[in-house]
């Protein structure tokens, strides 16, 4: 199973942002861990991150024909980027939305996801371990 893990805006600042909310791991640490979890679960992953919304849209376009599943964490774009929603809409595979912090317990504007209805699963508030849970959900679907 080929999985694109797509991280969005400001996730390159992991380890430097509010550590009580996002933890100490850097984006590099996170990606290293994702690749290790993927090996354990016999999944093939590609991690990508950008701070440019158009590039994130291009990542989603590339996934249309190249990924069996997508793990998305668009960061703040989750709450307002209709362009990202429109780019994800034609995707026919499984999509797992991940957020490191518990967005449902934060500011009111963070409680809304423009991706609602397009994602198969949502994992929030589990720190970087949420990515492991997302990969486990995908492995369970593959094996189920």
pLDDT at residue 111, as a whole number: 65
Task: Look at residue 18 in the predicted model and tell me its pLDDT.
Answer: 75
123: which strand partners? 98
Q: Of 22, 56, 91, 131, which one is the catalytic site residue?
A: 22
Buried b vs exposed e over 49-69: b needs ≥16 C-beta within 10 Å?
bbeebeebbebbeebeeebbb
Active site residue 22: yes
> Which band of pLDDT confidence, cut at 50, 70 and 90, is reported for residue 109?
low
- Mean pLDDT value across residues 30-43: 98
Length of the chain: 144
Of these residues, 79, 99, 112, 131, which one is catalytic? 99
Largest CA distance in the chain: 39
Question: Closest Cα partner for 51 from 27, 35, 69?
Answer: 27
């Amino acid at each position: 199973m080929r999985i694109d893990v797509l991280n969005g805006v400001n996730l390159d600042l992991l380890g430097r942002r509010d550590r009580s909310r996002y933890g100490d791991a850097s984006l590099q640490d996170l990606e290293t861990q994702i690749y290790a979890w993927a090996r354990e679960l016999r999944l093939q992953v590609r991690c990508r991150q950008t701070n440019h919304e158009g590039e994130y849209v291009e990542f989603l376009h590339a996934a249309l024909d190249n990924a069996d599943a997508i793990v998305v964490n668009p960061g703040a774009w989750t709450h307002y980027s209709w362009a990202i929603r429109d780019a994800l809409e034609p995707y026919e595979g499984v999509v797992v939305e991940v957020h490191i912090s518990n967005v449902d317990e934060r500011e009111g504007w963070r409680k809304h996801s423009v991706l609602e209805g397009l994602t198969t699963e949502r994992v929030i508030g589990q720190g970087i371990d949420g990515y492991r849970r997302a990969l486990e959900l995908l492995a369970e679907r593959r094996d189920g």
